[in-house]
Structure 1
Amino acid sequence: MVGANGHVLLADTDGRLQQAQVPVDLLLTAVHFVDSSRGWAVGHDGVILHSQDGGLSWSKQLDGNTINQLMTTWAEAEVSRLEAASAAAPDDEALSSALDNALFALDDVKAGSEPGPSRPLLDIWFRDAQRGWAVGAYGIVLHTDDGGQTWKYLASLDNPDRLHLNTVLGLGDGSLLVAGEGGRLYRSEDDGASWGPIQTQTEASLYKLLDWQQGQRVLALGFGGTLLSSADSGRNWQSLSLPVKASLYGGSELTNGSLLLAGQGGVLLYSQDGQNFNTWQGPSKSTWMNVAEVVPGQLALVGRDGLHKLPLAEITERLQ
């Protein structure tokens, strides 16, 4: 579990909690492990942390200052490339327009770098111990192919308004999905070198992508009870109707194959088929950010009130 002030908490199967050794005191927003030892976490100020011991201790791989440098290097190279191309073809209006956009992007990057490392990262996902992607505010996409020792800034995603990118997920067929503000959804089949925008027919911000039933279904959770479902690895999506309009922030597949989603106002949504959902709401109205089944039948909920443990039976017996 990761959260405010650099907190990284580990819970064993007996419920005992331990605070990890963390080199920052920033808000951490997401964590992902590829095996029982190696994991990464991201957060504000563009920080990326790495653990090689199951989350007991963490080291910093990247921060917003380095992201600023990566973005500046990219923008300056893009301006130089387009200046040379425009000089060779001065009557090419498309090149002239692209150069104007590149100059604006360079100015924008420089302005965004002035406050320092203010590049919040919001999610991270690794395909294996080497290849990973992180996304964040203002359209940031980062990629590593060496376990995070070095990172590259990806500018291939068409997001001229620099809308926030909230979540990233890779699928079993090798494709990569990114979703974010304003209902934006993107899909890549070449590790992020190029992206295709997806029509979702929603402008609701999307906060989390979930892989369900080993890739048979992909879900996108979002604002105001938005839930999108795809049965073809994210190429096409349909909107699912829910019994509540609470914003959804996280969820997981349980050991019995059912689905549990967590969200605003203490709402949990339970489904056995991914189509029909029942609502559970406890006495607290505090927002849940995520839920996990730590052992069969025992849930861990995390949110604004910290960590809460709950038997799954308490939910299934009181469904509405």
Structure 2
Amino acid sequence: MTLKPAFTLLLCLGSLPVAQAATLPDRLERPSQITTLADQALLTDMQSVGDHQVMVGAAGHILLRDSRGQLQQAKVPVDLLLTALHFVDDKLGWAVGHDGVILHTRDGGLTWNKQLDGRSINPLLLKVAQEQADHLQQAADAAPDDEKLATDLDNALFALDDAQAATTSGPSRPLLGVWFSNAQHGWAVGAYGIFLSTGDGGESWQVVNNLDNPDRLHLNAVIGLRDGALIIAGEGGRLYRSVDNGAHWDQTQQPTDASLYTLTQLRNGDVLAAGFGGTLLTSSDSGVSWLPVDLPLKVSLYGIKQLDDGGVILAGQGGVLLHSTNGKTFLPWRAPSKAALLNVSQTRAGQLLLIGAAGLQVLPSSPFKEPAL
């Protein structure tokens, strides 16, 4: 399976050396190191939480930026690349990352504890894969001429082999997206089709195996919409939708084969999905159908942000930003650094915060009056 470019980017950037880290054992057990340079290293995701911003990134770095622009590094129990975060209120949040790690905070991001990692996920995957293979083997034995059952059994046996191999190789599957509907119910998605859910705030997690993804394509992002629907975006343009809190999932219309990396819902209810090679899709019916949006540049896009004034920003490769006043027509702009941008946020004072391969960049409000490309 070919790794998606954004996933490859995170793998490469996340493996850049951090001082003395290579000499320490087991990155799932050692705490992230406190450093004044954390805001200059790779940062992957960001969310406004109360009156401050929380950012995650390389080497277990989690940063809090307050309304005065002061940065504080959180206490984090792991030293590995974190890829995504989600808060349900000003206190409760979750972050996910490499080696299947899931972290939880109860104090707005100041301190974090580990809820799960790949060493616990692997046996969960193996158990589900074994049960599915056994079930389909019995069904196929009872109906040997059923071609669909035979295909499903082949896929299940392949998944079982993969789960057995993962158990041998260790906690190597990255999680790439996380979203919670409330303090109890949440979902996490990741590389090679990994999909987890919790109903108790992350105290326990279960493998979700009702997604039509036999090739175990990467699942890159998951969000919930205001009407209660859940959307997953992934490799190869795959989009999945659930309207019953994740009990069942349907693969939606797929207008592109380009991998999709990020999702958001605008205040008018429209849903945007963005990804490889300047792909941008929009849905006005809660993700049931999607239409492509033409963009002036064909750069991969990793972040979407709707501003206080209703404008929309897309962040992507080469420091490129695409800005729209209506969510439909975009003009290009470039950040001061040409490093890849992975997400955007806005402070209450109107400043734009850009994060990515070069760390944190702060722009004044309304920098888009004239295109910078």
What TM-score does the superposition give when structure 2 sets the normalisation length?
0.82
Tell whether 2:357 aligns with 1:299.
Answer: no
State the Cα distance separating 1:65 from its structure 2 match: 1.2
Out of 68, 88, 96, the residue aligned to residue 14 of structure 1 is 68
Indicate the residue corresponding to 1:191 in structure 2: 245
Cα distance in structure 1, aligned partners of 2:227 and 2:311: 23
1:125 aligned to which of 179, 182, 194: 179
Greater RCO (Cα-Cα under 8 Å, separation 6 or more): 2
8 Å contact kept, 1:156–1:192: no
Tell me whether 1:262 sits opposite 2:324 in the alignment.
no
- Superposed displacement of residue 98, structure 1: 3.3
1:26 aligned partner: 80
1:228 matched to 2:281: yes
How high is the TM-score relative to the length of structure 1?
0.95
Q: Supply the distance in 1 between the matched residues of 2:294 and 2:242 (Cα, whole angstroms).
A: 27
Residue in 1 aligned with 2:233? Answer: 179
Q: How big is each residue's C-alpha offset from its partner over 1:46-102, in whole Å with a ceiling of 9 and x where there is no partner?
A: 000000000000000010111111111111222332344445555655444433432
What is the alpha-carbon distance in structure 1 between the residues aligned to residue 147 and residue 288 of structure 2?
Answer: 33
State the match for 1:63 in structure 2: 117
Percent sequence identity over matched residues? 59
Partner SS, residue 307 of structure 1: strand
How many Å separate the matches in 2 of 1:285 and 1:11? 23
Letter in structure 1 aligned against 2:121: I
Matches within 5 A, 1:18-97: 18-89=72-143, 92=146, 94-97=148-151
Which of 156, 160, 166 aligns to 1:112? It is 166
Cα distance, 1:210 vs. partner? 0.9
How many equivalent residue pairs? 319
Distance in 1 of aligned mates of 2:229 and 2:285: 11
Q: 1:17 to 1:73 in 2, by over 3 A?
A: same
- The whole-number CA distance in structure 2 between the counterparts of 1:91 and 1:246 is 48
Partner secondary structure for residue 284 of structure 1? coil
1:310 maps to what in 2?
363
Report the CA distance between 1:198 and its aligned residue: 1.8
Q: What one-letter code is carried by the residue in structure 2 that aligns with 1:247?
A: S
Contact 2:118–2:170 at 8 Å: present in 1 too?
yes
How do 1:241-252 residues align onto structure 2 when only pairs under 5 Å count?
241-252=294-305
Counterpart Cα distance in 1 of 2:295 and 2:146? 51
Q: Which moved more, 1:25-34 or 1:265-274?
A: 265-274
Q: Tell me the distance in 2 between the aligned counterparts of 1:88 and 1:315.
A: 65
Map of 1:5 onto structure 2: 59
Q: Please give the alpha-carbon distance, in whole angstroms, between the structure 2 residues aligned to 1:164 and 1:57.
A: 30
Q: How far is the alpha carbon of 1:251 from its aligned partner? A: 1.9
Q: Which amino acid aligns with 2:84?
A: A
CA–CA separation in structure 1 for the residues paired with 2:103 and 2:276: 28
CA displacement at 1:295 relative to structure 2: 1.8
SS of aligned partner of 1:314: coil
Aligned-partner Cα distance in 2 for 1:102–1:173: 34
Distance 1:87 1:281, change over 3 A: closer
Secondary structure of the residue aligned to 2:179 is: strand
Corresponding position of 2:210: 156
Q: CA deviation at 1:159?
A: 1.1
- Residue 120 of structure 1 deviates from its aligned partner by 0.4
Aligned-partner Cα distance in 2 for 1:218–1:192: 18
Residue deviations 1:168-199 (CA, integer Å, cap 9, x gap): 11111111111111111111112222221122
Does structure 1 conserve the Cα–Cα contact (< 8 Å) formed by 2:178 and 2:222? yes
Q: 1:318 to 1:89 in 2, by over 3 A?
A: closer
Alpha-carbon distance between aligned partners in 1 of 2:151 and 2:277, rounded to the nearest angstrom? 38
Cα RMSD for the two superposed structures? 1.6
Counterpart-to-counterpart distance in 1, 2:233 and 2:308: 26
Equivalent-residue separation in structure 1 for 2:301 and 2:206 (angstroms): 31
The 8 Å contact of residues 7 and 19 in structure 1, kept in 2 or not, is answered as yes
